[in-house]
Structures are given as structure tokens and as C-alpha cells.
A and B are shown apart, each in its own frame.
Chain A
Amino acid sequence: MARVRLENVTKRFGDVVAVNNLSYEVGDGEFLCMLGPSGAGKTTTMRMIAGVERPDEGNIYIGDVPVNDVPPKERDVAMMFQSYALYSHKTVYKNLAFPLEKHKVSKDEVDRRVKEVAEILGISHLLDRLPKQLSGGEKQRVALGRTMVRKPEAYLLDEPLTNLDAKLRAHMRAELKKLREELKTTIIYATPDQLEAMSMADRIAVMNFGKLLQCDTSGAIYNHPKNLFVAGFIGSPAMNFIDCTFVEKEDKAFLDAGEFLYDITELKNLIKDRYTSPELILGIRPEHISISKKPLTEDSIEAEIYVIEPSRPDVIVSISVGTKALEALAPETFRGDIGEKVWITFDRSRVYVFDKKTENAII
């Protein structure tokens, strides 16, 4: 298995910069997930690694070999397209056999490998069918199978689960994870779904507008997001962001959010060193806000219940503090009425501060 390395890769389509100075590295046997919304540049990057698209700038290495000028069929990667790209005039068997036939593998070997892969994916009974006779989940497994028959150096999976319904998606997520344990190959995976990325990947490369924002393990990305976008994209329900201003009064320092003041005296110097202006954003995840009927600490802020969504096992409570709206996660036992006055408390150790102008994390 090989490493895949991207160095300063840029790709433009006319005026649009689809991929902007992207650099990352995928180690042997590592599962790296490119995570980002539509248009982030994930598919374009994947196509450049596969060789179907050429970078305008930068270099791509597969197994330490520069492959910018190498045609796709000689790169020894396998790609699964979001649309599955099944050959509709060939049976499932012939679809799976195609890559092997193109590499001049003997008929017996082709037969053996096709049957082996079909067995692993549970599609042995479908070998004589045509793609149009398959369900969505079956098509997806055939497409996946086609990448597996060749045992390539790296797998490129482009949003493989996006077109499946929720239940099947959850099932396939588990299957993919198990498969990955067995195959131990280098996998580059693209998805807009942060749940998929968090549950399956060794490392996640968060992208937006063609730029790499952070490349780290899922834990690091969740706990130490480097900027606003990453913080807001990971975690569901999403992190709350509150505009505020850094103010100093006597020896203390506060984040002035208009409706309330939050004491951050102990972080005063750290913030002052790093910020570009006093315009800041306070970030706090819903799961780190406690709701209570009475104030818990002197930091507790008075708020009003706006809406309660009992999405079990937790309860999402939308609360309003003056004109600001926040979401907090409460345990299932929480009871409250709309309009009721409650107190919210932030977990001090999980408060994030972002610079409003640069959108980078300060704390």
C-alpha cells in the first residue's frame, strides 16, 4: 500500500478556483476523509488523484512517485464514483470483471476474484443481473466491488453513501468500517456528512471553497477546531456562536455580548496577545450548556425557552437570551414550557473564542 501526497495542488475552472493550494498526506493503510459541503473541492481533488483531471499547479505523488503526467490506468488506484458509474450494458459479473480483464488477468483468476468480492459484499446472487435491475443499495455494493477486485494501492471513494436512504446508510457505514479493518488499505473518502467522517476516518481533512482548513484526527477536530467553519461544521447540533466584544473593567476582562457579560478574566492575556481586534465570537457546543431552573454559578445567564425538540435520547432546547438564540442539549428528563424562564451555564473548560475578522480560533 502506498502513501498519497498532495503538494500545493491548485485547479481552476475558468474564474472559479475549485482547489486552492491544497497539501496533505495520506499514510500507508490510513483512512483519510475529505469533509466539506458541496463545492468544497473534494470531488475535483479526488479526480486529480485518479488522473482524470490535471492540476494546474502543484504535484501529486502516489507511493512517492510523481504522477502528474501518468495516465489514470497506470496509477493503480480504484475510484468509486458518486453516481456509481456502472456499465449498464454489462451484467454485474462483467462489471466486476472489467478492471481485471483490462489488466490481462487469466480467466480463472478473474472468476475467482469476482466471486470472492461478491461473497464479501453479499451480492453473489446478483451476478447475472443488469444494473437497471438492481436496487440503490445493490448498485452501490457492485460499484464498491469493482474497486475491490483489483486490490489497488489506494481506494478513492467519492460520497459512496450519499444516495442511500438513512437506514441503509447507517448499515453501510458499519459495513465499510468492518471492511476497512479486513482490507487494511489506504482509503481516501469524500463526504459532506460529518457523522460519516467522524465515525469512520483516522484523520479528517476539512475543506471549504477549495481550501484545506484543518487536517487532524476526529477527536482533535471536535475538541480543538482551528477556525470558525470547522467548529460550526463538526458536531450535531452545531456549535452556538455569539458575537461579542472584548472589554476590560478594572482588573477583569469580559466578553460583552450585549445581553450578557461573560467573565473570562483568566484568559485575558492570552486573548489580548492573539486577537487582531476586540471583535470576537464566543463558541459553545449545545452539549456543554446546562439548563437549570435556578442559577448554578455566578456565570449563569438568564434565558427564556423558545422551543423544545424532543429528539431522543436528548432534548434540544432552543433558548433565547434577549435577541440571541442558542441551542442547548438537555437530558431526556428535562421538562419545561415555552416562555419559561431558565438559567443557562456554560462549561468553562469548553468555551471557544474566535477572532471575528480572521475566523481563527484563539482559545
Chain B
Amino acid sequence: MVMVGKTTERIVATVLMYLAVVVVMAATLFPLVWMFITSFKKETDVLTFPPTFVFEPTFDNFIYAFTKSKPPLSLALTNSLIIGACTVALVVPISALAAYSFARFNVGGGHLQFYILTVKMFPAIAAIIPYFIIFRELGLLDHVLSLIILNTLFNLPFAIWLLFGFFREIPQDLEESAMIEGCSKFGAFRDIVLPLIAPGLAVTAIFSTIFTWNEFLFAFILSRARAVTAPVAVAGFWTQRGILWGPLSAAATICIVPMFIFALLIQRYIVRGLTFGAVK
């Protein structure tokens, strides 16, 4: 609500504000809604012009997506889950310990931190060939492990940067007090500091999960049949025979659903984590 100004001005301002919100929301949601609708359309309805919103829904696309895809969509979903879970399991502890070291011991005097951050600035596509060669030599092409390693590496810079900010907010008094009262240095970290930055850990885990789930480029290049992930499977419907819009939309919808539910469940942790600052 706009609070200042004359009444007519206030009404106009408020209306414009809501209008802007509606426009942005429509622009963001429209592709998703369209995709969702398309997944229920028969093949003939998919490409009609003008586009129809009234049609007879069918589940054929979903059945096709699951049964006729090669490699199977179910495998892709399983791989995404495994890669996501392993990546988060690695990223959170490593980034927490690294960020703590930077915050408390100033390891590398700021240079190491900067170096890690620059990894994020590096255009991923420039590294694709070297990584391909490395993993080929290691015999890890088309293997889930290579994607776990890569996703961990790509998520660490952001995670470390994020957690560093959180650790800096915690006054050192608390750890020192804990050490005087009987904790070792690590004990103080575990019992006092970690619980206090739990929102930060949650945000790190959440963002790592989302980034990993959505990661397309490296998954596409480095997988063939056994290690395909959900985004790669969806792209698989872009065949040489043409784009199978119906099954593609169905597959995409299926792949979005887990993240969608996940986000709904943890959205308040994201907000809490990002507006963190109430330690004192």
C-alpha cells in the first residue's frame, strides 16, 4: 500500500504497482502454465493456431514419456536424485569448514578466498573439453560419479561465500566462552556456532540442490545412457524426427514437480536464511 500523497495519487500508485506485479508474474508463470497444459494435449491439439485452452485432456504423453523414452525417464530421475543428494552431502560439510577457516583463521590472507570465487566467474563451457578428456582418461565418462564431482566443485564457491558471510556475523566471544567452559575448539564450533548458522546451512543445501538438479551442460556432454539426468532426459525428446512436444512437456512437468514441492516445503527457510541477522 502506498502511504503518502493525496488520495487519488495514492490509488493510482497502488493500482500501477499491482499492475506491474501482475505483468511480471504473468511473464514468469506463462511458460510454465503453457508447458503444463501442453502435457495434457493430444498431438493434434498441441500445435493448433490459435492456441486452445479448451480441449480434451489425455494422459498419453505421460505414458509415452515414461515407457518410450530411451534412456528411460525413471533412470534419469533416479540419477538426478542420487547426484543431488551426494553433491549436497559433500558441499555442505566442506563449505562449512572452509568458510569457518576463512572467517576465523583468515587462511590464505584473502587470496585463496578470491581464487575460489573466481571459479564461479569462469565460463563453464570453456572447461568442458578439458573435463571431458580428464574423465575419459579416468574411465568415468557416462558415470554418475563424474557429475557428482563436478557439481560439488561448481557449488562450493557459492556455498563458501554464503557461509563465510554467516560465520562473520557470529561474535567470537561465544566460541571463546565455550572454550573456557570446557569445549575444545572444534567442540565450540560444533555445539555453539553450527546451530547458530543452521539457517545458512539450510540455504546452502537448498541452493546446491536446485542448482544441481537444473544443471544441464555438463550432464549433457558427459552422460550417454547410464548417467543421464532429468534435464538431459527432457532434452532427449528433441529427436531427429522432430520435437515431440507432447511427451517433452510431460517429461518436463514431471521433472519440475520434485523441485516445486521441495521449494514449497522449504520456502520459509530460504527467507529466514537470507534475512538472517538476528543473532544478538
Instruction: Spell out A's residues near B (CB within 8 Å).
Output: 47, 50-52, 71-73, 75, 77-79, 81, 83, 85, 87-89, 98-99, 102-103, 132, 146, 150
Contacts of B178 in A (CB 8 A): 87, 98, 102
Asked if A146 and B279 sit within 8 Å, CB to CB, the answer is: no
Q: What does the 1/0 interface line of B176-219 toward A look like (CB < 8 Å)?
A: 11111111100100001001100000000000000000000000
Asked if A52 and B192 sit within 8 Å, CB to CB, the answer is: no
Minimum C-beta distance from B121 to chain A (A): 33
Instruction: Across the interface, name the chain B residue whose C-beta is closest to A101.
Output: B182
B280 within 8 A of A: yes
Contacts of A87 in B (CB 8 A): 174, 178, 192
Instruction: Across the interface, name the chain B residue whose C-beta is closest to A80.
Output: B177
13 residue pairs A–B, Cβ–Cβ below 8 Å: A50-B180, A51-B179, A52-B179, A73-B180, A73-B184, A79-B177, A81-B173, A81-B176, A85-B176, A88-B279, A98-B178, A99-B181, A146-B177
Minimum C-beta distance from B278 to chain A (A): 7
In the bound complex, how far is the Cα of B280 from the Cα of A85, in angstroms? 9
Instruction: Across the interface, name the chain B residue whose C-beta is closest to A99.
Output: B181
Instruction: Across the interface, name the chain A residue whose C-beta is closest to B192.
Output: A87
Asked if B171 and A102 sit within 8 Å, CB to CB, the answer is: no
Asked if A132 and B278 sit within 8 Å, CB to CB, the answer is: yes
Contacts of A73 in B (CB 8 A): 179-184
In the bound complex, how far is the Cα of B177 from the Cα of A71, in angstroms? 13
Q: Which 3 A-B residue pairs are closest in the complex by CB-CB distance?
A: A102-B182, A99-B181, A85-B177
Asked if B182 and A85 sit within 8 Å, CB to CB, the answer is: no
In the bound complex, how far is the Cα of B177 from the Cα of A98, in angstroms? 11
Minimum C-beta distance from B145 to chain A (A): 37
In the bound complex, how far is the Cα of B179 from the Cα of A50, in angstroms? 9
In the bound complex, how far is the Cα of B176 from the Cα of A78, in angstroms? 11
Q: Which of A51, A77, A85, A103 contacts B173 (CB 8 A)?
A: A85
Asked if B196 and A89 sit within 8 Å, CB to CB, the answer is: yes
Asked if A103 and B280 sit within 8 Å, CB to CB, the answer is: no
Instruction: Spell out B's residues near A (CB within 8 Å).
Output: 171, 173-174, 176-184, 187, 192, 195-196, 278-280
Asked if B179 and A71 sit within 8 Å, CB to CB, the answer is: yes
Contacts of B196 in A (CB 8 A): 88-89
Asked if B182 and A103 sit within 8 Å, CB to CB, the answer is: yes
Instruction: Across the interface, name the chain A residue whose C-beta is closest to B180.
Output: A72
Q: Which of A52, A88, A132 contacts B180 (CB 8 A)?
A: A52
In the bound complex, how far is the Cα of B244 from the Cα of A10, in angstroms? 77
Q: Which of A47, A88, A132, A146 contacts B181 (CB 8 A)?
A: A146
Asked if B182 and A79 sit within 8 Å, CB to CB, the answer is: no
In the bound complex, how far is the Cα of B182 from the Cα of A79, in angstroms? 12
In the bound complex, how far is the Cα of B278 from the Cα of A52, in angstroms? 26
Asked if B181 and A150 sit within 8 Å, CB to CB, the answer is: yes
Instruction: Across the interface, name the chain B residue whose C-beta is closest to A74.
Output: B182
- In addition to A78-B181, A102-B178, 11 A-B residue pairs with Cβ atoms within 8 Å of each other are A50-B176, A52-B176, A72-B179, A72-B180, A73-B182, A75-B180, A88-B280, A89-B195, A89-B196, A103-B182, A146-B181
Contacts of B183 in A (CB 8 A): 73, 102
In the bound complex, how far is the Cα of B171 from the Cα of A56, in angstroms? 24
Contacts of A132 in B (CB 8 A): 278, 280
In the bound complex, how far is the Cα of B271 from the Cα of A313, in angstroms? 57
Contacts of B192 in A (CB 8 A): 87
Minimum C-beta distance from B122 to chain A (A): 36
Contacts of A83 in B (CB 8 A): 171, 173
Instruction: Across the interface, name the chain A residue whose C-beta is closest to B171.
Output: A83
Contacts of A99 in B (CB 8 A): 181-182
In the bound complex, how far is the Cα of B178 from the Cα of A351, in angstroms? 50
Contacts of B173 in A (CB 8 A): 81, 83, 85
Contacts of B182 in A (CB 8 A): 73, 99, 102-103
Asked if B280 and A78 sit within 8 Å, CB to CB, the answer is: no
Minimum C-beta distance from B180 to chain A (A): 5
Asked if A102 and B176 sit within 8 Å, CB to CB, the answer is: no
Asked if A85 and B171 sit within 8 Å, CB to CB, the answer is: yes
Minimum C-beta distance from A253 to chain B (A): 55
Minimum C-beta distance from A152 to chain B (A): 9
Contacts of B184 in A (CB 8 A): 71, 73
In the bound complex, how far is the Cα of B177 from the Cα of A38, in angstroms? 21
